Amino acid sequence: MTDTKRSGGWKQLGFVVLLSLPSVFCICTSLQFSQDSDYARSAMWFIYQVSQYVAVVGILVAAGLCVAEFAQARISRVALWMMIATVVLSVYLLWLGVHVFRSPWF
């Protein structure tokens, strides 16, 4: 067994945070819908739907990146656990965004 030094991983963490942004957009637009805001409904609906679908893809890619980095064991454990926490938070925000404002189509 080789003793390799785990370091780095902060660029991967930044990429995972970038992939989690659609979940934030989903919860923000969902909150605007639930409070009867004066913003344009069609634009908000578009942002809500697109962010919902892009967030699912982003979560899957981010989770895959976490699994790949865990298997390779090259990045620091702190960065890896922060990546995992970001993915879990992203899943929670997406779930919350979908359940705060329920779509009338489903």
The average pLDDT across 24-48 equals 80
Region for 36 from its dihedrals, namely left if φ exceeds 0, alpha if ψ lies in -120 to 50, beta otherwise: left
Q: Which of 10-19, 26-35, 44-53 has the lowest mean pLDDT?
A: 26-35
Average pLDDT, integer, range 52-77: 91
Task: Calculate mean pLDDT across residues 61-77.
Answer: 89
Q: How far apart are CA 41 and CA 58, in angstroms?
A: 25
**Tokens 């003793």 belong to which residue?**
3
Domain residue extents for the chain:
10-100
- Whole-model pTM? 0.82
CB 16 within 8 A of CB 84: no
